[in-house]
Amino acid sequence: MAKEVKTIGVLTSGGDAPGMNAAIRAVVRTAINKGLKVKGIMRGYAGLLQEEIVDMDGLSVADTINRGGTILYTARCQEFTTAEGQQKGAEICRKHGIDGIVVIGGDGSFKGAGKLSALGINTIGVPGTIDLDIACTDYTIGFDTAVNTAMEAIDRVRDTSTSHERCSIIEVMGRNAGYIALWCGIANGAEDILLPEKYDGDEQQLINRIIDNRKRGKRHHIIINAEGIGHSASMAKRIEAATGIETRATILGHMQRGGTPTCKDRMYASIMGAKAVELLAAGKSNRVVAYKGGEYVDFDIQEALSMTKEIPEDQYEISKILVR
């Protein structure tokens, strides 16, 4: 028999992502529409263990859909990776009358959600990460905003790089995934794209290409480097020493996590937040909302965590043709 849910908690965990507020707003308003109570859990699992729990209503999320970051704040919590921390979290949920929780975050957040589910707290995960590295879904909240923010910044760096006839290494975020780098590399017309999933570390080949491009009249060279490879500053020094071409490194960093979310991130996040509440209201638990093949679906958390994700080979092959 499905467990009846009367009060839903919502938290954001791990790295923040533009669009998280749209998901929170959708959770709150969908739950209220179904006659459920909503409690906001501040600062992720760390806030849960500290009982930083507040009542939420429709006004709590007014004028938030356009804001970047997360109004519930976020944090990482080592204590919640332990059995003792997880048991404490479940007990705190019961103490505050929380029957189910919507967890907005990445793989690490979903592991915690799975543990809560096993302890009797219905949990639904919503994928929120700019890295696009959750295998069960084609979309994660924040990626669209982050990649557009990075694209616009790279356009600006290209302008000055061209003016000074430089080589520019621009490092984008993505943790160990190269999706932001791949998309920006193609969209910004980069001369080279370095992806953690594909780069073999052959720096000499990179140097040779820069020299060859300069010989055939190319006056600048843009290299998009993924965070998972890193070392952009030292790479720039080695390239300049080997080529004699002024080379600068620009690390875009956390600017990619901030800013007004795009329409896509607001729309998709809103639907995912609403779907999460619908699953809880139906008595479901231990599920992750996903966008797959053009549809919103859900997966078992453990099944989702066991999936692997690779850079689409067709996109990678196209990128190799387009970079010059």
Among this protein's residues, is 131 annotated catalytic?
A: yes
Q: Which of 16, 99, 107, 131 is catalytic?
A: 131
Distance CA 288, CA 64 (A): 24
Determine the residue type at 42: M
DSSP 251-278: E-GGGGG-SPPPHHHHHHHHHHHHHHHH
Report the SS3 class of residue 127. Answer: strand
Distance CA 242, CA 125 (A): 48
Pairing of strands 53-56, 100-105: unpaired
Report the SS3 class of residue 32. Answer: helix
User: Which is nearest to 15 in space by CA: 42, 39, 44, 41?
Assistant: 44
**For the chain, how big is the Rg over CA atoms in Å?**
22
Give me 135's structure tokens. 């295998």
Distance CA 144, CA 132 (A): 9
Whole-number Cα distances in Å, 284 to 6, 92, 275, 305: 13, 21, 11, 18
> Are residues 3 and 53 in contact, defined by beta-carbon separation less than 8 angstroms?
no
Distance CA 235, CA 311 (A): 24
Give me 148's structure tokens. 């557009």
List residues with catalytic annotation.
Answer: 131
